[in-house]
Structure 1
Amino acid sequence: MQAQDVMTANPACCRRSSSVKEAASLMVDNDCGEIPVVDDEGSLVGVVTDRDIACRCVAQGKGSDTPVEEVMSASPVTVGPEASVDECCSKMEANQIRRLPVVDREGKCCGIVSQADIARHADKKETGDLVREVSEPTL
């Protein structure tokens, strides 16, 4: 099984200049916790998560009009659509991330693989291993 078989395709995206309020609204509208950030050509330049908004915006006293660029995680870990589910799990585990953007050969975001996607499609052992490794406290 490959990333393209389990991913959420064509995710909602925002721009660097989008406000955190706009990104949060996209999260609510799309029932997700991460929004890819793309440039004018649609190439992935970062991701903004609900945690980014909480920790890098709200906790620091920034307003809802703060540009996503100020709180996003730049240079996210990604996979291509042909990546195996095992490779997706390995990257998520190694980087302790719960969501993995999928980019095509041109660097455009075409999907996201989440822990939930893995849980719906992988076996119980693989899912359990992923959740355990991603959740391991960092020292």
Structure 2
Amino acid sequence: MHTIKDVMSRDVQVISPDATIAEAARHMRDGDFGMMPVGENDRMIGSISDRDIAVRAVAEGRGGDTKVRDVMSEGVRWAYEDEPIDRVVAIMGEYQIRRLPIVSRDKRLVGIVALGDIAIRESEPAPAAEALCEISEPA
């Protein structure tokens, strides 16, 4: 049985809530990803996505100097690194999220998994396809 640590990326960047959204956008562009965990005092306190920046900042006329904390999504969904892939896919589908932080059992951030990581690395694409259907449904 494969666990999520078999497919996750260990290259995960965390951004401070006091960073600007321009900094967050540059990290996302340079790393080619659309979401970053937001960390403060060695804890994940939320996440910021490219959509958060577009909808909560740009669409409201805010500038690039807006703080991450002002537009981030609070509360973080995550999974343990030793959980089965299908359990992680179920979490992603239930909460309609495409990228999920992965933590160790002592709740240290150890990676991140994107729906695409699961689809590419799994020999049977059904779990990722099922999650994508759930994620894509209107809330």
Give the counterpart letter for 1:40 in structure 2: N
- Equivalents in 1 of 2:32, 2:85: separation in Å? 22
Q: In the TM superposition, what are the counterparts of 1:28-107 in structure 2 within 5 Å?
A: 28-41=29-42, 43-107=43-107
Partner of 2:23 in structure 1?
22
| 1:32-61, Cα deviation, whole Å (9 max, x unpaired) | 0011111132x2111100000001110111
Q: Which runs of 5+ in 1 are unaligned?
A: none
Give the counterpart letter for 1:134 in structure 2: I
Tell me the secondary structure at the aligned position of residue 60 of structure 2. coil
- Equivalents in 2 of 1:71, 1:114: separation in Å? 22
Is residue 47–residue 74 contact of structure 1 (8 Å, CA) maintained in 2?
A: yes
Is residue 36–residue 109 contact of structure 1 (8 Å, CA) maintained in 2?
A: no
| Identity level (%) | 36
- Equivalents in 2 of 1:106, 1:54: separation in Å? 34
Partner of 1:120 in structure 2?
120
Q: Which runs of 5+ in 2 are unaligned?
A: none
Q: TM-score, length-normalised on structure 1?
A: 0.93
